[in-house]
Structure 1
Amino acid sequence: MGKGILSFSYVLRVTLFLLFVVSHMSLYAQSDKIISGVVSDQSGVPLPGVSIVVKGTATGTVTDFDGNFSISVSSPKAVLVFSYVGFITQEKPASSKQPFNIALEEDIQSLNEVVIVGYGSQKKETVTGAISTIKGSELTDVPTSNLSTAITGKLPGVVTIQSSGRPGEDAANIFIRGQSTWVDSSPLIIVDGVERRTFSQIAPNEVESISVLKDASSTAVYGVKGANGVILITTKRGEVGRQKISVSADLGAQQPINIPNFLGSYDHLLLRKQASINDGLNIENDPLISDESLEGFRLGEDIFRYPNLKWYDKAIKSLSFQQKYNVNISGGTEKVKYFVSLGYLNQDGMFKYTNTHNRYSSDTDFKRFNFRSNLDFKVNKFQTLSANISGRKDTKNGFPNISNVFQSLIAQVPYAFPIYNPDGSYAAIAGQGNPIVKIAESGYDRTDVNNYDIVGSLKNDLSFITDGLTLDMNLSYNSSTGSTKSYREQAGTFQYNSVRDDYDQITEYSPLSYTGESPTTTFTRLGIQANMRYTKTIGKSKINTTLVYNQQNDKSNTSNPFVLMGYAGRLEYDFDGKYLAEINAGYNGSENFAPGNQFGFFPAASLGYVISNENFMMPLSSVVTFLKIRGSAGLVGNDKIGGSRFLWQGLYQYLPATGSRLQYIGFGTTNPSSLGGIYETRTENRLLTWEKSLKQNIGLDAKFFGNRLLDITIDVFNEHRTDILMSARSLLNTTGIPSPQYNIGEVKNWGYEIDVSHRNTIGEVGYSLRGWYSFARNEIINYDDPSGTPVMQKYAGYRIGQYRGYKVLGYFTSQEEIDNSPDHSTLGGPIIPGDLRYQDTNGDNKITEADIQPIGFSQVPEIIYSITPEVSWKGFTLNATLQGAANASVLFTSNAGFEFGGAAGGGQVTTMHQDYWTVDNQNASYPSLHLNPQHSNKNVNSFHLKSGNYVRLRNVQLSFELPELFCKKLNIKNMRIVLSGNNLKTWSKVEGFDPETVDQKGESYPQQKVYNLGININL
């Protein structure tokens, strides 16, 4: 990596120098002609602030309030470029006759923009469903290696939670409009019309657009798979024209965004002493906290007798690096069009000591090679053959048992032993391994995964039968194989005895050896699809129909084969561009359910009214450019009801005639005989079915002031999810058979989304500002709470995933208050002033598990929002995404929350624990300290449940596009240089850990902050 670092530094210096030189370039020439004129719109209204630039130079001006301009040109061959936000850019030779009166044409492309929908596409103007879209070009500059995290903060209603930052395992969990089920809320993923299991490792440079389908009208065609929303990814294709070659290179530096601030040995032991006193322990029996010992740790002069190690800090690099390279080649003729993409990603892990003896690397690095080829062949006048071929090879490396290593890093006390002994050997003590040894010399695992996707399609224009009729057919194949090779070693570790000045061996050395390969996992998916469309215009009426048949066969060596088949249909009606109607339906069958209960029908309908196209709105057209209201309702399903195949079937377990437990039937007491039997582990339920979701949505789309100043989208939605699979809780389990599973769960989910954007040009400065806000709240209606369950113990009426624990009312401030309060000692003592005081929910004057109640929120935020400003000037563009979440909670226990990790005599403490309660510090932020891991304070409660609200500077990009004349000298079309960052700053109330984490113990790989330098060249 040394060469990589030198390369990064060198490129950075050269780029900064180039930016400085180019930004100060100017053209010195005598102006020999002054051109004047007026710029207006098509109706003759003058346009102020129109940018006029001499093409290929930095010479420019803007129109005044009345649309007038004057500019000097140095050559009669010069070309003037007129640009204005919301209007089509025009070019005009300087040699044209004067006066220069230019009438710009309004750019209505955003209304005519095509939006990808299920099994087809629609004009954005006529869409009646709730759909959010983003172009792939908006993601390529985001310096993240994972596409699922690149969309964070970009799409209203899309919640992303990244639980790990480990290279190769940094995909985000995605929720569309919150949660409506506690089983599986993951959306359906469709890539180029074909269902895929994931999209996280698709390179952003390959992506043309992403559409997120959120309501029933847009997802009903996916039937039993559409209830959780659908993400449609369309990859790039070739276009007719000369060959285009795009080359990009990105070099990034990474560092963890949150590191827990653990205390050093001296401060740690001071808190240990106070905790011992609080627990009534005799501190004279603990030599670690004697005056002599504390003074030794304070001075820190003898690192072997008085070690002081913050293990987490020691193990983590200050910077790690990542590299990304991509080449796109596209072009075509009327006969053949092509798009080819090659990419390479190399991410280093964040750990030190991973190549100590240059024998192997145990760092958590990740490499990805990706390839895509999208080809279109015009076979004849009526047929086009397309072939999409893509592949990806992922290689993930790392030391074994990474979660165990993180546990060691945050649990190992700082005073136990140093990394190395005086003689250079690894240090350890009995029962406590050296965390650095686990990283550096425990061996490594190398996982290789190969993915291949092939889609062949034939598009048939059947206009020779009747105008507007087409038939598309495709055959798709997906293959994924993976395996892990393991290598293990064990370093010798020793405990140094400073009194005897010798060593006791803790572990013996074992050389690196190959320990085997995990069984190769294989997955294949074969799909066929036929799509017939018919378009007809009759007067002012436009009718579009779509009929689809699809079948999917999945095979894996780890599960039974799976077959899904279905039909889908869509009917669109558009009258005069004003009145819109759409009917969608899916009819799906899944063999995962019992015969006779395998097919379902999922209908939906939507209406739209484009008010701005009415004649009575014409006088307001200069203000109200576009105004549409829309509404939809329908039924969709979710077949992700559990990980097991054939959940409806009963299961039985054979009990042997012998065993260490009473797993058999015995006869007699003297020389007893035994007989095996069969035990029913799951009761059959042939009525088992998928979840059903009834969704309603009302929306408004509006554009004001010439399609440039204000763009507003508002959606209000409601969902009623029924038939959620769960074990019956109200049935008494008296038979010894686990409670059967039924479709009895029920949830309501409702909310709204507001998306507002503004863009304009002032002089030579173009700017835009977008902000959106999404709210989604769920409520459990039925969780089969047993009759007589106390209200606070029920799940009905509360939220999915809402935490449950003791509600903290404050601190005990005196012994008298403790004596006059409900008994807390049943949860672990001693209870002293400064301890947490819980609410006696059931009023029985003692705190027990019966007082546990819903507290806080769930980990999935109810509120997400984003603000994205952008400013551009003379080739420079600066944009940022500020993203946030609210109404979320995160629980921290063990070493992430409790003092001393909740472990007797061990575990770490942080700066948070230093502000503990005492008589002289009653406004402390932390309660009294205790060594007792079972103390009342260390239960799940509202004190340790922290706010998961945060605001994050998700990404920032500063780009510069070199002038055209300069690029011509380099024989390239254009060049962009981009400085960018990701996860640059987070504001939250969580200390030392990420508020987005789902790991309450703090033992997961932290998210990474990235600083990136990128160069993009188009040839």
Structure 2
Amino acid sequence: MKKFNKPRNRNGCPWRFDLKMKLTTLFLLVALFQVNASTYSQSTKIDLNLNNVKVFDVLNEIESQTEFKFFVDTKEVDLERMFSIKVKRETISKILERVFKGTDIVYKVLDKQIALKPGVKEENVDQSSTQEMGLKQLTISGTVVDDSGTPLPGANIVEKGTTNGVTADFDGNFSIEVADANATLVVSYIGFSTIEVPLDGQTSLSITLQESAAGLDEVVVVGYGTQKKINVIGSISQVSSKDIENRPVTQASQAITGQMPGVTVIQRSGRPGQSGGEIRVRGVGSFGADANALVLIDGIAGTMNDINPDDIASISVLKDASSAAIYGARSANGVILITTKSGSNKKFSVSYNSYIGVNEATELPEFANSWEYAEMYNIASGSTSFTADDIDRYRAQNDPDNYPNTRFLEDLFSRNGIQTSHTLTVNGGDENNKYYVSAGILDQQGIVPKNSFNRYNFRMNLNNKLGEKFELNSRFFGALEERKEPQATANKGGGFLDQLVQNAVRYPATFLGRDSQGNYGIGPESGGTPVAWLDSKSYLTNPTTRVGVNVKLDWKPNDDLVFSAIGGYNFTLYEERSYLGSQRLNEDVFLGQSYLNQQSNKTIFKTMQFTGEYSKEFGSHDFSLLAGYSFENEELSLFNGYRQDFASNDYTVMDLGSAENQQSGGYDAEWALQSFFSRLKYSIDQKYLFEATMRYDGSSRFPENNKYAFFPSAAVGWRISQEDFMQGVSWMSNLKAKASWGILGNQNIGNYPYQTVLASGRDYSLGGGLATGAAYANYKDANIKWESTETIDIGIESGFFDGQLTFNATYFNRNTTDVLFKPSASVSSVLGVGISETNTGEVKNTGWEFDLGHRGKAGDFGYSINANFSIINNEVVTLGLGNVEQPNGFVGNGSDLFIGYPMQMYYGYKADGVFLNDGEVDSWPDMSAVNPTAQAGDFRYKDISGPDGVPDGKVDPTYDRTYLGSRIPKYTFGANLGFNYKNFDLSVLLQGTAGVKGQLDGYAGYAFFNLGNIQTWQMDGRFDPDSPVRYPDYPRLEVLTNSGSANTETSDFWVINSGYLRIKNIQMGYNFPDAVNEILGIDNLRCYLGAENLHSFNSYRKGWDPEITGGGAYYPILTTYTFGINLKF
């Protein structure tokens, strides 16, 4: 039976109630529910004005206006019959008389429920007549939700063994009449496991459905459309809004970390507005061109920064050729499809999501106190630069103006940045018009003073049916963003936040920050310190405006054919003002001169696309063919200007600076891409699946003879679980084998790399004098072409016990040829000029992906586990023109690219501890080529090889450096754990990497580097000649210049394991019960506590996050503690 349910229509009520109001309200509610049902049916007046609509639509409209609910067996009542009606303030009885006049349909009214059934018309309805026509008298009500408490509108509730059934309304609520108090209800919902609920005398139920891990009816977003997961052959990973909601992520890239096999997200910084991660899909596929994945938002090219995470409905990552080849030239590094939320045909609803959070650094290195620094410096320098009296005064801290203990890094990261987010959403519509409108505000305060990121965003998504054959989908969005940062003063020269942080790492505690009279310390280079710079008028502001529209018009001339026209326009205006001001440190030191650099970068992206798709079922055969055309164009325009010597730091308008030495510049650029594509899908009995994709791309970035390229793919699948011989295997709900092959492209290089340009300033001799001339600055390859990536995928998908347990495994092989690469300097020296990108080189990524899912329930307790694990082997196959054979047998560029090894490798020495005394130096292989003054506490580098390929008693850079590891993780993994008990829920996201190396150098890695500081781990673990150990945590202390020493040569002491396991997110929530929501006049209220980047387990350098490498320009990744609410009206 079909039941029409009207969503509850609540009018909001005040937030506060006194006791008298509560009791009065309760009394009135009780009294109202006692009113005779006939009073409601007789007093309710209905207005209808419907022309040539289905009877179904008439009944639906009645439910939308009233509290009536219809019980209909669609096999007995024709709801497809067309009908017209126009009434004003008419009763339900008279309307139904008109609707069913001339038919054998009768209606029965009980309470506010109406049953429709063929039969003999009866004018007066009483209890006995109601029972005779089969309307049951025991009312069972309840709510159907998922394991997080989210209502499941449209869930089916059927009395077992009968056709008596209803569907849940928009809030998951239902009411069904049954005859037997011990009946059993069968509850089902698409994508969830069906369950049976014995009543056992209960009349009020709270039913929780577990999502079917098999997800066979789940819809997956693919290129230019969607597919049921059951029919997907390609390698696609998808997360929904449920997987990313309520997390304090400011950029969408952070939301997918650890949630997809084969997708690696590395977050290098927690800097507000710039904390998005590097996304790598199945390794790194190029060492010359950009390796970033293509990002499409509702089918239009964009970036992960272009969207508020709250507006995301799903994120799909296309990883293999069969899924990504539809995007051809830009898909070699994977494709990320972001789909935004849409309106529904349900009641008007308002949602408000908000959180407040506190940010702090995940890790901060600890530095020596001023007296400790002085003691260690004396040891390192072998002198008494600091006297015993100096050290005592530093330790006493009774004269901080002259003997300070300034904690520069701690003072810089001194605050707990507050982060708030507010998103208001309006959603609703009907069968013909749907709308989704959202507005959001994000305010993220950094842990550095004067550092913040703000975003104001708006989105409106509309879906409108224009008659029977046309449908218009419109997407409008806008965002205003602004990033603010402090800077160093003008004398530091481009002192951006990076340099400010780096010097806070560098400067030891012996330097004064600010004295008791308000004067600033001058620092080690008489240019001030971070304490002074933070108080200066220097600043950086970076406002960005984004506006876009995406319109899609569908024309469906018949049920099998649809034509679509798509138009997109994105406008981005990026502006930056960097002012380095003057500043007086004290009476004697003034820092200048001030200068302002200002730039404006405008980007306009336009696209138009046309597709046609024919889909048809012929018995057991399912066939579809998609064909399309796409044109994309992007125009870039940049202008920048520079002036110096501003009279006042308070007036930083470009026109107020000195015209002397002023500078200006700019450029315009443009690129375009034209494409033709098609896709064929065919299946038999939904068991044997086939798919082929073809794309023909033409890019302005390549010369005429190589402008176009063809990118094909093919895939096959076999749903073994659907075979007859598997029907007796009840415990296996799904088993599918699949394989794919294809070729993908990469055009992520400059706009016109094939054009040779002239450079001025190339003077030459003419007639005994010097004439100004121009010459070719470098060689350009006029035959440059696309990078091509051939991909092979073989996989299996399986599900057990109605999807309660799933396991998927995939093997992949990505081989990229014609890599766009600039060969090494040795090639340039032969040609006499530099050489630009050319197609030379090959790189391969092979590996495995696994994901495992399990869901279960015991009483009121439910749980879910979803884990993924990936193995990725990256290997340079050849550098082509860049192949340079090293004397030690390595072939490559001599630094980080060698044939047979991963990209981004470390190349250096193997260290076997340190010399315990000077006498050991003589008994070790000769190290004079590396360290001619080796002594106790210096590293013992191993003699690995020599001219004959065997150790030769000497250690030198030619033969004794080797592979030490790579910055590309070999293993990535993640696990999403979910638990719920009644109204409580808990989720934990774990994420990590292994088989990856990192190195901290410069101020971050070396003590006393270039007038730098010393960290406590270096101080405590240093080599001590009085109690020598072979493998100390740090070699002997020495004062280092900017060029380092023999002990700072790249070696496996410095290149260390940077793998980690991180508690990425943990969240506990509580859904308030319906009774409370009823009192408050709302649909749903959820509160939660959460923590992002809570803790990481690693063996990296103490105080440094394992995702951070480099020399000390370190803005730590942030831990964010949040409290939030989800409110729905």
Q: TM-score range by the shorter chain?
A: 0.7 to 0.9
How far, CA to CA, are the matches of 2:704 and 2:143 in structure 1?
67
1:787–1:1013 Cα change, 3 Å: closer
Aligned to 2:775: 679
Aligned to 1:931: 1039
- 1:125 maps to a residue whose letter is I
1:788–1:413 Cα change, 3 Å: closer
How far, CA to CA, are the matches of 2:753 and 2:1095 in structure 1?
46
Aligned to 1:549: 629
Question: SS at 2:254's partner residue?
Answer: helix
With the length of structure 2 as denominator, give the TM-score of the two structures. Answer: 0.77
How far, CA to CA, are the matches of 1:732 and 1:195 in structure 2?
37
1:439 aligns to 2:501 (yes or no): no
Task: Work out which of the residue numbers 566, 584, 596 in structure 1 matches 2:675.
Answer: 566
State the Cα distance separating 1:76 from its structure 2 match. 6.9
Task: Work out which of the residue numbers 797, 811, 817 in structure 1 matches 2:920.
Answer: 817
1:505 aligns to 2:588 (yes or no): yes
Query: How does 1:165-184 map onto structure 2 within 5 Å?
Result: 165-183=270-288, 184=290
Aligned to 2:1070: 960
Task: Work out which of the residue numbers 372, 378, 400 in structure 1 matches 2:459.
Answer: 372
With the length of structure 1 as denominator, give the TM-score of the two structures. Answer: 0.85
1:101 aligns to 2:200 (yes or no): no
Query: How does 1:710-859 map onto structure 2 within 5 Å?
Result: 710-729=805-824, 731=827, 733-739=829-835, 741-783=837-879, 784-787=882-885, 789-792=887-890, 794=892, 795-827=898-930, 830-843=933-946, 845-851=953-959, 853-859=961-967
Deviation string for 1:280-327 (max 9, x for gaps)? Answer: xxx24x2x1x22222222222221222111210122224110110001
Task: Work out which of the residue numbers 1088, 1092, 1097 in structure 2 matches 1:982.
Answer: 1092
1:508–1:80 Cα change, 3 Å: closer
How far, CA to CA, are the matches of 1:850 and 1:1017 in structure 2?
66
How far, CA to CA, are the matches of 2:845 and 2:179 in structure 1?
62
Aligned to 1:255: 360
- 1:424 maps to a residue whose letter is G
Question: SS at 2:1075's partner residue?
Answer: helix
State the Cα distance separating 1:434 from its structure 2 match. 1.8
State the Cα distance separating 1:560 from its structure 2 match. 1.8
Q: Which runs of 5+ in 1 are unaligned?
A: 1-13, 16-28, 30-74, 278-282, 353-362, 495-503, 656-662
How far, CA to CA, are the matches of 1:406 and 1:105 in structure 2?
56
Aligned to 1:865: 973
Mean Cα deviation higher: 993-1002 or 228-237: 993-1002
Task: Work out which of the residue numbers 339, 349, 352 in structure 1 matches 2:436.
Answer: 339
Aligned to 2:333: 228
Deviation string for 1:327-353 (max 9, x for gaps)? Answer: 11111122321110100000112124x
Question: SS at 1:148's partner residue?
Answer: helix
Conserved 8 A contact 2:753-2:836:
no
Deviation string for 1:220-253 (max 9, x for gaps)? Answer: 1111111100000000111112112110111000
- 1:222 maps to a residue whose letter is Y
1:471 aligns to 2:563 (yes or no): yes
How far, CA to CA, are the matches of 1:77 and 1:344 in structure 2?
45
Deviation string for 1:756-798 (max 9, x for gaps)? Answer: 0100110110111111101111111101322565323641011
State the Cα distance separating 1:813 from its structure 2 match. 2.5
Deviation string for 1:804-863 (max 9, x for gaps)? Answer: 222222212232321133443444564212211112344365444324634333223121
Aligned to 1:523: 603
- 2:670 maps to a residue whose letter is P
State the Cα distance separating 1:1004 from its structure 2 match. 2.7
Conserved 8 A contact 2:876-2:900:
yes
How far, CA to CA, are the matches of 1:557 and 1:940 in structure 2?
42
Deviation string for 1:35-65 (max 9, x for gaps)? Answer: xxxxxxxxxxxxxxxxxxxxxxxxxxxxxxx
Task: Work out which of the residue numbers 1001, 1009, 1017 in structure 2 matches 1:911.
Answer: 1017
Aligned to 2:258: 153
Conserved 8 A contact 2:514-2:532:
no
Deviation string for 1:570-622 (max 9, x for gaps)? Answer: 1001100110010011110001100121011111100000011111111112x
Aligned to 2:502: 407
How far, CA to CA, are the matches of 2:790 and 2:1128 in structure 1?
48
State the Cα distance separating 1:737 from its structure 2 match. 1.1
Conserved 8 A contact 1:801-1:859:
yes
1:491–1:96 Cα change, 3 Å: farther
Mean Cα deviation higher: 376-385 or 976-985: 376-385
1:459 aligns to 2:554 (yes or no): yes
How far, CA to CA, are the matches of 1:175 and 1:741 in structure 2?
22
Aligned to 1:207: 312
Conserved 8 A contact 1:793-1:852:
no
How far, CA to CA, are the matches of 1:916 and 1:673 in structure 2?
63
1:295 aligns to 2:408 (yes or no): no
Question: SS at 1:926's partner residue?
Answer: coil
How far, CA to CA, are the matches of 1:951 and 1:979 in structure 2?
22
- 1:298 maps to a residue whose letter is R
How far, CA to CA, are the matches of 2:1117 and 2:1110 in structure 1?
15
Aligned to 1:533: 613
Task: Work out which of the residue numbers 151, 158, 163 in structure 1 matches 2:268.
Answer: 163
1:814–1:509 Cα change, 3 Å: closer
Q: Which runs of 5+ in 2 are unaligned?
A: 1-14, 17-29, 31-136, 158-173, 193-214, 488-495, 639-667, 893-897, 947-951
1:617 aligns to 2:717 (yes or no): no
Say how many residue pairs are matched.
897
How far, CA to CA, are the matches of 1:720 and 1:121 in structure 2?
28
Conserved 8 A contact 1:830-1:935:
no
How far, CA to CA, are the matches of 1:979 and 1:739 in structure 2?
56
How far, CA to CA, are the matches of 2:568 and 2:186 in structure 1?
50
- 2:1057 maps to a residue whose letter is S
Conserved 8 A contact 1:309-1:414:
yes
1:398 aligns to 2:485 (yes or no): yes
Query: How does 1:633-712 map onto structure 2 within 5 Å?
Result: 633-640=741-748, 642=749, 644-655=750-761, 663-666=762-765, 672-708=768-804, 710-712=805-807
Q: Which has the larger radius of gyration?
A: 2
Aligned to 1:498: none
Mean Cα deviation higher: 969-978 or 428-437: 428-437
Query: How does 1:259-298 map onto structure 2 within 5 Å?
Result: 259-277=364-382, 283-284=383-384, 286=385, 288=386, 290-298=387-395
Conserved 8 A contact 1:220-1:635:
yes
Task: Work out which of the residue numbers 236, 242, 246 in structure 1 matches 2:351.
Answer: 246
How far, CA to CA, are the matches of 2:635 and 2:147 in structure 1?
52
State the Cα distance separating 1:998 from its structure 2 match. 4.6
State the Cα distance separating 1:114 from its structure 2 match. 1.1
State the Cα distance separating 1:483 from its structure 2 match. 1.3
Deviation string for 1:935-975 (max 9, x for gaps)? Answer: 21012221111211111100001010000111011000000
How far, CA to CA, are the matches of 2:942 and 2:404 in structure 1?
43
- 1:886 maps to a residue whose letter is A
How far, CA to CA, are the matches of 1:848 and 1:508 in structure 2?
46
How far, CA to CA, are the matches of 1:291 and 1:1010 in structure 2?
44
State the Cα distance separating 1:516 from its structure 2 match. 4.9
Aligned to 2:300: 194
Aligned to 1:450: 545
Question: SS at 1:459's partner residue?
Answer: strand
Mean Cα deviation higher: 239-248 or 920-929: 920-929
State the Cα distance separating 1:912 from its structure 2 match. 3.2
State the Cα distance separating 1:195 from its structure 2 match. 1.4
Conserved 8 A contact 1:793-1:853:
no
1:382–1:994 Cα change, 3 Å: farther
How far, CA to CA, are the matches of 1:841 and 1:679 in structure 2?
46
